[in-house]
Structure 1
Amino acid sequence: MNYPLIVFRGLNLLVVLLCASLALGAGKPLTDFSLEELMAMEVTTQAKTPQRLSQTPAAVFVITADDIRRSGAVTIPDVLRMVPGMHVAHIDGNKWAVSARGFNGRFANKLLVLIDGRSVYTPTFSGVYWDIQDTLMEDIERIEVIRGPGGSLWGANAVNGIVNIITKSARDTQGGLATARAGNLERGSGALRYGGKTGDNFYWRGFVKYFDRTRHHGLPGETAEGDWDSLRGGFRSDWYPAAGEQFTLQGEAHQTRAGALRTEPLFTAPFARLNDEPTETDGGFLLARRSWETDDSTRYRLQAYVDHFQRRRNLLDEDERRTTLDLDFQHEFAPNALLDITWGLGYRVSRDAIDSGQVITYRPSKKTDHLLSAFAQAELPLVAERLTLYAGAKAEHFESVGLEVQPSLRLLWTPSTRHSLWLSASRAVRTPSRTEEDALIVLSVRPFDPPLPLTSAGNTNIATEKVTAFELGYRGLLNDRVSLDLATFFNFYDDLRNFEGVPAAFVLPPPLPPLDALFTTRNSETKARSHGLEAALSWQAHERLRLMGAYSYILLHVEPRLGEEDFDFSEEKTPRHQASLRAWLDLPHNLELNTWLRYVDALERGPVPSYLELDTKLAWAVRDNLSFALVGRNLLDSRHQEFPVESFLKNSVTEVRRQIFAEAIWKF
């Protein structure tokens, strides 16, 4: 591919768009927020309490509802591609590798993901099942993404970042909404939502959503897999009994079928087979939250949720059932005019039952984990309206590793209302997963007489992974039309997972056949360090044209004890450079043209070549309540690979196909 020529053509296209917008003259812009309004937007993830984005001492990127609508993306992972510092890669049609600041993979385990305050991070492998994380995209109010540790407020596993998906209040989704999409990969999808009001202060909505998506291309000489269909329904109600008080009750139920192709070892000839049985998941959650105020500076929040799911033929043909109950209390108050304090308590119990297969065996097959936590954060102005100190820590007690404390110090300097500089130092940890502690995995079977299984055994003595992070950032309005967000970081990791180098002999336990076998286990003796730069620039070139650029650079170096990197966090799976450029152009006659140019550097593992892709969405608002759109994604190539074959499961890896689909949205 001739990248310089493509970049040149892309720049020419932007010049044409700019000239076209200038020629249109003045008119009412269709963008939702000015740059100044975006800087004043309130975010809650960094401090667990509302803060203006311009006053937030962290590397925060906010994806608005307008960003989602104009992107043409129909999945949460694809939306996250616009965040600087995030690496999102398709593995196959329903699996992604999603991580912040390195350590990416299907089992990426250093990113905490929340949906309306409900953690969807699974203790089974310390990651996220992205194939079941979905909701009605039109109901998402914003996605707040923090790059960097967030353990002082959100606890363990918020090591390299937090993704907090926040949906709209039922008060903001009144009336009806129907959507439909169809295209070459989107074989058919649709959603129906209706919201209403009862009395003066009780609002509700309900929705149902279905999609059926086909697979992408297989790599040369390999079979593609990745068909994906899902049915989901849910509700939300919001009651406002008094000023400053809100009670929310929401829930969802889902059923998903995700195609999979995995290589499984056998104890008899031919000693390996391809299993193409799909992974089937069903589950749901129920969440209740009450927030109230007693005065202007005292706020309370009490939240509880229960989440249950069952996955059949999961990662290695095992069946997993998990039920989680979570309770969380938070109190914010100001003991005097200078000091703001937020503190809270939490309790979580998660119970699983895993029916093992011949590839993976869990001992014990059932397990219940209890987590107790407490946190506190203080906000202290050192110089009025200029210099503020944020100090906080979270203490958590885990049954497996005991007590962990995660502190954070942040300093915010605001020399003017348009500019802010921040500096932070923090510590975060990741707790061992169920698989790392308790699983015996048959990796392969050597065709000897008798056969010799090679296995990986869990280790109940491994320690928590740790990171010490230092960050420096700037956020500001350079003028009325240009905003800039910069963040640099230096991370030092310790006690990372790796394999012991010398296999040991043992006999396979029941229910496996009693064969002599070799096993390696996990240790916690790998170190790593990383540093990088992330930048986001927005330019309101004209009231009808907005340009948004993002760039990230990261250098990751892993220092394994035995000189071999673990497949979980190989530095060879981290792109050193990423860049994107989005353009929103509002045309006459209620037309929008939105383009998104994305570049991802090559991955040494595989290797996977660098790629440059273009997404485009042309939308037409026929009436205030009816719109149509034509969306093209990955338009510069008929297909391209985004991630290497995992050395562990050897799941199918596909080449992402060019996608074209039509969309209709009707509000009633």
Structure 2
Amino acid sequence: MTFGALASVPGGALHASDSAAFFDDIPLVLTASRLAQSPMLAPAPVTLIDREMIEASGFTEIHDLLRLVPGFQVADWPGGSPTVANHGIGDAYDRRIKVMIDGRTVNNPIWGDTQWDNLTIRIDDIERIEVVRSANGGAYGANAFQGVVNIITRSPMTEDGYSVISRFGVDGFYDHGVRVNGPADSPVAWRLSASTRSATTFESFVRSNGENELQEGFSREALNLQLVSQINPQDRLSLNFGVSQGVDTRGYPEMGTRLRNFQLDPVQDGDIRNQTVHAAWTRSYSTTSELSLQYFYQGQQARRAWEIDVRGLGEGRDGTIHADRDIDVSAHNLEAQLSGQILPSVQALIGAGVRHERVRSAAYFDTDAALTATYWQTFGNLTWQATDALALNLGGTYEHHDYSGKLFSPRLALNLAVSPDAALRVSAGKAYRAPSLIESHGLETLREDGAVVQIGYNAAQPVDPEEMRFFEIGLVARPMKGLAVDVRVFREAYSGYLDSQSCRLPTAAVPVPSKERCSDVGVFPPADWSAANALTYQSAKTKRFLNLGSFVAKGGEYTVDWRKQGWGRVVFSQAYITLNASDDLVDRDIELSAPQATTSLLFIKELPERWRASLGYYHNDDMYWLNQGDRVPNRDRIDLRLAKRFGPPGAENEFALVMQNLGEIYTEFHEGRYRHEPLIYASLRLVW
């Protein structure tokens, strides 16, 4: 068997609909090596969530789609954006997974996480999502650590006309969107999409200890404009402008018998705004050779402020403290990539990029000045078709980051065609996660009359990047028409695990055991710290960042995807994971942070008269979300969607009824604190 020639893709930015190859029985994947290639030739495991799965799932939020990926864990919580992890070690900030939209990175510089609810696109704008389920530093460098998620939007070159969708549900849920496409014969293909949505994600309740719990609701408006022009047979130019803005309502209501939480973090509104600009130029020299240049900008402004009543909390304290979590973030990226066939059996790619980040937040860095950081990287990939059946892929990224110095992430993969319809993959490599800005420079403070009265995250000592060495064996097969199988086993060895650890400042009002004192690791409070001004003794606690040791993740996962025209489709995935800590690991909860088994099932059934039913089932064994999270027990979630198409044959007009999380309320992210409510909504889509 011959794997066939490759087509190059600039940073994974090619739209899935731009090539007829995507409609073949074996779709191309773009994200594994920055080259468009068959999954049988890809040097890493890739899960494809296509448009049919997106619609059938009934999900209205992008992060929820990752519940369909084997080995991934997804959770929402009321203190911040939803979070995603792969093979455990997940917490409130999913900073170990690189997330891109059409090849542009959207991770936030402060934590390195993804603000899933603030993205400038909506679920209706997505053509497909490609998820690399392993470290992919060889292609994308530091922070492509536990995987890469590339969200590929629908190309305006493949759409025309207008569409409107409205979703209404319980508890005030709504999600409305409109899409306007330029005429099909226009020299510039364009699409404008706009949406507005609102939901109450968590309701407060009084816990058994009398303490009230966090509540959360949000509203968002998003606007996105895409323009694509095929200037001539060789040159293509694309532009994208996006903005998302809205309000988060978070905090503790005044209820229950313990008011401390209400006093420190009452319910208040926070304004948030995101902007993106993405420009890309591609010149094609042949079917296997092209040059691309792209620039993208990411900006965020968050405003959240409130007053803390300190009357009665200490002698002589009869006023209020002004608290805020204002944030200003900007990032500029420039990237160039050249690919081509340098020999009849050798395809090569080389590229370079630079990124400049600027962040301002007095609350998180205890300064009004802006913090800046720059990193650059060079990357390359070489694919050699050694024989008709054997391909060798060598990739690597060399980079320099202000937070971590110089790093090199290599990857080697062998792909062997064991039959015309099946290929075996063996790959190994190394990847890094560079410390985020808060892990390297953070000093989270609360001040009263200029004096520090509380310290949160404290990056007072240098930390090193996390490192992972991985080895995996995978099999990708299509044994019969309509059936695809993806199986793999893996071993991932983590070292230098970087996380926060609680400690107490040495000026605490009561004696502190030496093992809990921050001074033991050289962390000292600011000169203006006054224990007498502390809100409570608890405020003498802080969180330092440390490299906490090493551990090994081992396991296996598989996906079976079967479809039959006119009948329906079944996508079934399972993953099995174990984490084994080394003797030097400080936090033993890490061993519990991955569920031993996870299952996802998406069942799609075609019914008469253009009806379609789909059922989603998602199971996680016991697991432990780290830091702000906690243990969550075995949980099962069932979603049901019933839809009917109407109008002329082939029309996409549709009415649907969706019921998510059928059955009893289940806990998510923290067993005793956060309860995920069921959601029932109806939707109507009109296309003309």
The question of 1:612 aligning with 2:653 is answered: no
Q: Which of 257, 266, 281 is matched with 1:275 structurally?
A: 266
Q: What amino acid sits opposite 1:261 in the alignment?
A: G
Q: Which residue of 2 aligns with 1:128?
A: 114
The question of 1:70 aligning with 2:35 is answered: no
Q: Which of 155, 161, 170 is matched with 1:184 structurally?
A: 170
Query: Structure 2 regions of 5+ residues with no counterpart?
Result: 1-20, 254-258, 307-322, 504-514, 535-539
Question: Match of 1:70, SS?
Answer: helix
Asked if the contact 1:580–1:599 (Cα under 8 Å) also holds between the matched residues in 2, the reply is yes
Q: What amino acid sits opposite 1:413 in the alignment?
A: L
Asked if the contact 1:36–1:480 (Cα under 8 Å) also holds between the matched residues in 2, the reply is no
The question of 1:324 aligning with 2:331 is answered: yes
Q: Which residue of 2 aligns with 1:61?
A: 47
Q: Which of 231, 234, 249 is matched with 1:259 structurally?
A: 249
Q: Which residue of 2 aligns with 1:417?
A: 420
Shift of 1:513: 8.1
The question of 1:382 aligning with 2:408 is answered: no
Shift of 1:400: 2.9
Taking structure 1 as reference, are residues 53 and 512 closer, same or farther at Cα in structure 2, changes over 3 Å only? farther
Q: Which of 545, 548, 552 is matched with 1:529 structurally?
A: 552
Higher relative contact order (CA 8 A, sep 6+): 1
Shift of 1:206: 0.8
Q: What amino acid sits opposite 1:617 in the alignment?
A: R
Q: Which residue of 1 aligns with 2:218?
A: 228
Greater shift in the superposed pair: 327-336 or 557-566: 557-566
Q: Which of 407, 411, 418 is matched with 1:408 structurally?
A: 411
Q: Which residue of 1 aligns with 2:296?
A: 305
Q: How does 1:650-665 map to 2 (within 5 A)?
A: 653-665=673-685
Separation in 2, partners of 1:451, 1:288: 44
Question: Match of 1:53, SS?
Answer: coil
Asked if the contact 1:503–1:519 (Cα under 8 Å) also holds between the matched residues in 2, the reply is no
Q: What amino acid sits opposite 2:223 in the alignment?
A: G
Q: Which residue of 2 aligns with 1:483?
A: 484
1:120-151 deviation line (CA, Å, top 9, x unaligned): 11121121122212523222111000011111
Shift of 1:362: 3.5
Separation in 2, partners of 1:656, 1:633: 10
Shift of 1:270: 6.0
Taking structure 1 as reference, are residues 130 and 618 closer, same or farther at Cα in structure 2, changes over 3 Å only? same
Q: How does 1:453-532 map to 2 (within 5 A)?
A: 456-498=457-499, 499=501, 501-505=515-519, 506-509=524-527, 521-532=544-555
Shift of 1:276: 2.0
Taking structure 1 as reference, are residues 252 and 378 closer, same or farther at Cα in structure 2, changes over 3 Å only? same
Q: Which residue of 1 aligns with 2:370?
A: 366
Asked if the contact 2:120–2:276 (Cα under 8 Å) also holds between the matched residues in 1, the reply is no
Q: What amino acid sits opposite 1:503 in the alignment?
A: R
Q: How does 1:190-209 map to 2 (within 5 A)?
A: 190-197=176-183, 200-209=186-195
Question: Match of 1:152, SS?
Answer: helix
Separation in 1, partners of 2:196, 2:494: 42
Q: What amino acid sits opposite 2:470 in the alignment?
A: A
Taking structure 1 as reference, are residues 562 and 253 closer, same or farther at Cα in structure 2, changes over 3 Å only? closer
The question of 1:167 aligning with 2:125 is answered: no
CA RMSD of aligned residues (A): 3.0
Separation in 2, partners of 1:453, 1:200: 59
Question: Match of 2:550, SS?
Answer: strand
Q: How does 1:56-135 map to 2 (within 5 A)?
A: 56-92=42-78, 95-135=81-121
TM (norm. structure 2) is: 0.83
Greater shift in the superposed pair: 551-560 or 78-87: 551-560
The question of 1:629 aligning with 2:633 is answered: no
Asked if the contact 2:548–2:585 (Cα under 8 Å) also holds between the matched residues in 1, the reply is no
Separation in 2, partners of 1:362, 1:131: 27
Q: What amino acid sits opposite 2:397 in the alignment?
A: K
How many corresponding residue pairs?
A: 612
1:593-645 deviation line (CA, Å, top 9, x unaligned): 111122111225643221112111111111124211111111122x1112117
1:355-409 deviation line (CA, Å, top 9, x unaligned): 22xxx444574211111110111001121x2101001110111123221111110
Taking structure 1 as reference, are residues 217 and 521 closer, same or farther at Cα in structure 2, changes over 3 Å only? closer
Q: Which residue of 2 aligns with 1:30?
A: none
Taking structure 1 as reference, are residues 349 and 56 closer, same or farther at Cα in structure 2, changes over 3 Å only? same
The question of 1:355 aligning with 2:379 is answered: no
Taking structure 1 as reference, are residues 369 and 513 closer, same or farther at Cα in structure 2, changes over 3 Å only? farther
Asked if the contact 1:309–1:321 (Cα under 8 Å) also holds between the matched residues in 2, the reply is yes
Q: Which residue of 1 aligns with 2:437?
A: 434
Q: Which residue of 1 aligns with 2:317?
A: none
Taking structure 1 as reference, are residues 502 and 188 closer, same or farther at Cα in structure 2, changes over 3 Å only? closer
Q: Which of 214, 228, 239 is matched with 1:249 structurally?
A: 239
Taking structure 1 as reference, are residues 514 and 497 closer, same or farther at Cα in structure 2, changes over 3 Å only? farther
The question of 1:642 aligning with 2:668 is answered: yes
Separation in 1, partners of 2:419, 2:229: 39
Asked if the contact 1:525–1:560 (Cα under 8 Å) also holds between the matched residues in 2, the reply is no
1:416-436 deviation line (CA, Å, top 9, x unaligned): 231011011111111111111
The question of 1:139 aligning with 2:135 is answered: no
Shift of 1:189: 2.0
Question: Match of 1:42, SS?
Answer: coil
Shift of 1:262: 6.4
Identity, in percent, stands at 22
Q: Which residue of 2 aligns with 1:393?
A: 396
Taking structure 1 as reference, are residues 324 and 479 closer, same or farther at Cα in structure 2, changes over 3 Å only? same
Q: Which residue of 1 aligns with 2:316?
A: none
1:199-230 deviation line (CA, Å, top 9, x unaligned): 65321111110001123344652435121100
Taking structure 1 as reference, are residues 74 and 93 closer, same or farther at Cα in structure 2, changes over 3 Å only? farther
Taking structure 1 as reference, are residues 245 and 653 closer, same or farther at Cα in structure 2, changes over 3 Å only? farther
Shift of 1:492: 0.6
Asked if the contact 1:101–1:147 (Cα under 8 Å) also holds between the matched residues in 2, the reply is no
Separation in 1, partners of 2:96, 2:657: 36
Separation in 2, partners of 1:112, 1:314: 30
Separation in 1, partners of 2:113, 2:87: 15
Shift of 1:547: 1.6
Q: Which residue of 1 aligns with 2:507?
A: none
1:243-282 deviation line (CA, Å, top 9, x unaligned): 243211011111021222269xxxxx96963332233211
> Which structure shows the higher strand fraction?
1
Separation in 2, partners of 1:94, 1:426: 33
Separation in 1, partners of 2:528, 2:106: 33
Asked if the contact 2:390–2:414 (Cα under 8 Å) also holds between the matched residues in 1, the reply is yes
Q: Which residue of 1 aligns with 2:348?
A: 341
Separation in 2, partners of 1:183, 1:596: 19
Question: Match of 2:646, SS?
Answer: strand
Asked if the contact 1:218–1:653 (Cα under 8 Å) also holds between the matched residues in 2, the reply is no
Query: Structure 1 regions of 5+ residues with no counterpart?
Result: 1-34, 264-268, 646-651
Taking structure 1 as reference, are residues 270 and 643 closer, same or farther at Cα in structure 2, changes over 3 Å only? closer
Q: Which residue of 2 aligns with 1:13?
A: none
Taking structure 1 as reference, are residues 368 and 443 closer, same or farther at Cα in structure 2, changes over 3 Å only? closer
Shift of 1:659: 1.2
TM (norm. structure 1) is: 0.85
Q: Which residue of 1 aligns with 2:278?
A: 287
